[in-house]
């Protein structure tokens, strides 16, 4: 693909993905409450999920996505339910002042599927790839090589944005040393996570 097309795609994705939304809110809340070490399955699922939406758009499978709309709706509500569950776990988490660490009891598999459900079921992400992307890129002329180039561009942009949010949240978490601060962090993170769940649920 032409470099200009890739840059336009990268700029549009940067604006869309970089603006704080339910996915970013869930990510930041998770890092503040639990640390960054166990958030990568969630991140990986988010990136793969966006890759799936990009592939559906590039290969003209938007009709398939609409045909299986119910499946994506189910995924959306599974993601909402799990984010709500995480919010409850954060709110009720015991406060321990041992080196600022908090319990990590969600498995990597659960976090991966949560990230996948949130991404595949997020109408904002779906609309970007299936509705906005065709106005930015002539998808009819995209070859397999072009798809690879778009995918790599997407990966670079998303990794840069998401890791920046993770780093910012991790730095904020370092300031939380006392039991009181940790309890506040738990409650704020729980509220943010619940808000992310509500935002996704409210979108159609």
What's the pLDDT score for residue 97? 40
Query: Residue 20 above 70 pLDDT?
Result: no
Q: Which residue has the higher pLDDT, 57 or 28?
A: 57
CA-based nearest residue to 27, from 36, 18, 15: 36
Mean pLDDT of the chain: 75
What's the pLDDT score for residue 103? 39
Summarised one tens digit per residue, pLDDT across range 148-163 is 999 999 999 999 988 9
Cα-Cα-Cα-Cα dihedral sign, residues 155, 126, 45, 51: negative
**Token pair 């006392």: residue:** 178
Predicted TM-score of the model (pTM): 0.67
Percent of the chain surpassing pLDDT 90: 12
User: Which range has the worst mean pLDDT, 122-131, 132-141, 168-177?
Assistant: 168-177
How big is the chain, counted in residues?
204
Sequence-ordered list of residues with C-beta below 8 angstroms from that of 119, at least 6 positions apart, any chain: 23, 45, 46, 48, 49, 50, 53, 79, 125
CA-based nearest residue to 196, from 46, 67, 93: 46
Arithmetic mean of pLDDT, 126-149: 83
User: Which range has the worst mean pLDDT, 24-28, 51-55, 112-116, 179-183?
Assistant: 179-183
Arithmetic mean of pLDDT, 68-88: 68
């Amino acid at each position: 693909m032409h470099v200009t097309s890739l840059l336009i795609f990268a700029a549009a994705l940067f604006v869309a993905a970089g603006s704080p939304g339910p996915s970013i809110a869930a990510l930041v809340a998770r890092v503040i409450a639990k640390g960054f070490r166990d958030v990568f399955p969630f991140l990986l699922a988010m990136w793969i999920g966006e890759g799936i939406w990009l592939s559906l758009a590039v290969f003209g499978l938007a009709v398939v996505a609409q045909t299986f709309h119910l499946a994506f709706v189910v995924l959306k509500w599974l993601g909402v339910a799990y984010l709500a569950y995480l919010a409850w776990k954060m709110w009720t988490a015991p406060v321990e002042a041992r080196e600022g660490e908090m319990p990590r009891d969600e498995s990597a598999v659960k976090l991966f599927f949560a990230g996948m459900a949130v991404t595949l079921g997020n109408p904002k992400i779906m609309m970007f790839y299936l509705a906005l992307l065709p106005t930015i890129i002539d998808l009819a002329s995209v070859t397999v090589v072009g798809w690879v180039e778009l995918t790599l561009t997407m990966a670079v942009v998303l990794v840069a944005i998401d890791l920046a949010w993770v780093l910012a949240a991790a730095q904020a978490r370092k300031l939380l040393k006392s039991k009181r601060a940790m309890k506040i962090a738990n409650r704020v993170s729980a509220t943010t996570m619940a808000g992310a769940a509500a935002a996704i649920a409210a979108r159609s």
